[in-house]
Structures are given as structure tokens and as C-alpha cells.
A and B are shown apart, each in its own frame.
Chain A
Amino acid sequence: EAGVTQFPSHSVIEKGQTVTLRCDPISGHDNLYWYRRVMGKEIKFLLHFVKESKQDESGMPNNRFLAERTGGTYSTLKVQPAELEDSGVYFCASSQAVGRVSYGYTFGSGTRLTVV
């Protein structure tokens, strides 16, 4: 089974530009999550999709970030306009089941975003 795939693996953009990150979850996984790690800090939750609906977007830092999951398959995370503090590694994860604390995710390899 293919894992969680993220594109691109690296992105370097100038401040003020727009960047779109993509995540392809494991087929059949209704739950999709975005996380972010700013250098040297902890990995922080951004949002959670159940199919195409946003279940929890409490971690989204501001309205420059827009996440979508059309059709409940892959998801995109757009940053517009990008600021220097948006630099970090963006992780996507997916899971089939929810509700029990023992359920883990499958993570992707992340997209390293550098805003210069």
C-alpha cells in the first residue's frame, strides 16, 4: 500500500509569494491532518479533515493559510502571501479510524518550506 505522499519535498519562495503544498493520503483514509514544525520548536497541529469537511481547524495560524480537500481525496494547503515566519516543515498524516487514543497516524515525509 502506498504511504502518505507530499509534494513538493522542498520549496523556496520569496516573501509575498504564494505556495501550495499537496498531500495524498493513504487510499481509503477519511481522516487527513496537517501539522507544522518551525525550526527548533515542537510539531504543531494545524487542522483535521474528515473526508472533505474541516473537522478542526483550530491550529491554523491566520487567514493567509487555506486548506482544501475537494472530493475527500488529496488535500492542498495554500499559503498566500507567504511570510518569513511561515518557514518550516509541513507534515501531512492520514488515518482510517478515530475516536480511540491508541489510534496513530501515518505521516508523510513533509514539505520543507523556506521563505526568503
Chain B
Amino acid sequence: AQKITQTQPGMFVQEKEAVTLDCTYDTSDPSYGLFWYKQPSSGEMIFLIYQGSYDQQNATEGRYSLNFQKARKSANLVISASQLGDSAMYFCAMRERSTGNQFYFGTGTSLTVIP
């Protein structure tokens, strides 16, 4: 079974608008971490934001915030005030304490920001 599900292969957003990229996860481990990575056309994977399973508040990093709904097992990424440079692939990922250092990734969402 897929541990990370990203159901949006492609998304479009108008510049300066906000956009939400969906991510649901599947784990029975009470201790886990959720990550979002950005992959621009240059190829490198850039870490954006992290949410721990025991964190009480949603994580925020500048224009990025993570809408963490633990009961629904969702960890959506919200990008506010989109910029042209936000156009990229976005990957949701998870690490579990029980499975050590391995990351589980989703299939990614391609975001295009329209001027």
C-alpha cells in the first residue's frame, strides 16, 4: 500500500494567489515526520517544511505552511502569495521511527504559476 498519496499530478495558480497541494499518508507508527520538498527544473531537491507527528501546531516557514490534520492523516502544503519561481515539482515525504532512515515519497505535484 502506498504510504504517501499525492492526488494532484498538476496544478495551476495565478501569481500572488495561494495554492494548496494535497498529501495524505498512511502509517500505524505513532512517531513520524512529514516533509515537503521542492524540485525546480534544475533538479535539486530543496527542503521546504517539516511537521512532526507530536507537534501541536501547524508548521510554518515563510510563505509555506503545512495544514496538518492528524485524524485525517493529511499534510497539505499551502503556499501563499505564489511567485513565478514557485513553479516546480513538489514532493510530500514521510519518515517513521519504526522504519528508520528511509523516506517514503509521493508521486509529486507539478505546480505552474501563471503570471
Instruction: Name A's B-contacting residues (CB within 8 A).
Output: 3, 9, 31, 33, 35, 37, 40-45, 48, 55-56, 59, 89, 91, 93, 95, 98, 101-110, 112
Q: How far is the CA of A91 from the CA of B105 in the complex (A)?
A: 13
List chain B residues, Cβ under 8 A from A108. Answer: 44-45
Contact present for A42 and B107 (CB under 8 Å): yes
**By the criterion of a CB under 8 Å from any partner CB, how many residues of chain B are at the interface?**
29
Are B107 and A41 within 8 A (Cβ)? yes
Is there contact, CB below 8 Å, between B105 and A48?
Answer: no
Partner of B44, one of A35, A40, A109: A109
CB-nearest residue of chain A to B3 = A42
CA distance A112 to B43 in the complex (A): 9
Known interface pairs A56-B101, A98-B101. Does A42 touch B4 (Cβ–Cβ under 8 Å)?
Answer: yes
Assess the A56–B105 pair: CB atoms within 8 A.
no
Q: Which of B68-76, B79-87, B89-97 contacts A (4 or more CB under 8 A)?
A: B89-97
Q: Does the CB pair A107–B33 fall under 8 Å?
A: no
Closest to A55 in B: B101
Q: Which of B32, B91, B102, B108 contacts A45 (CB 8 A)?
A: B102
Are A107 and B37 also in contact (CB < 8 A) when A43-B91, A101-B95 are? yes
Bound complex: CA A109 to CA B48 (Å) = 16
- Once the chains bind, are A56 and B43 in contact (CB under 8 Å)? no
Contact with A along B37-62 (1 / 0, CB 8 A): 10000111101001011000000000
The docked-state distance in angstroms from the alpha carbon of A35 to that of B105 is 10
The complex places the Cα of A95 from the Cα of B47 at a distance, in Å, of 13
Contact B33 A102 (CB under 8 A): yes
User: A48 vs B4: C-alpha distance in the bound complex, in angstroms?
Assistant: 20
Residue on A with the closest CB to B47? A104
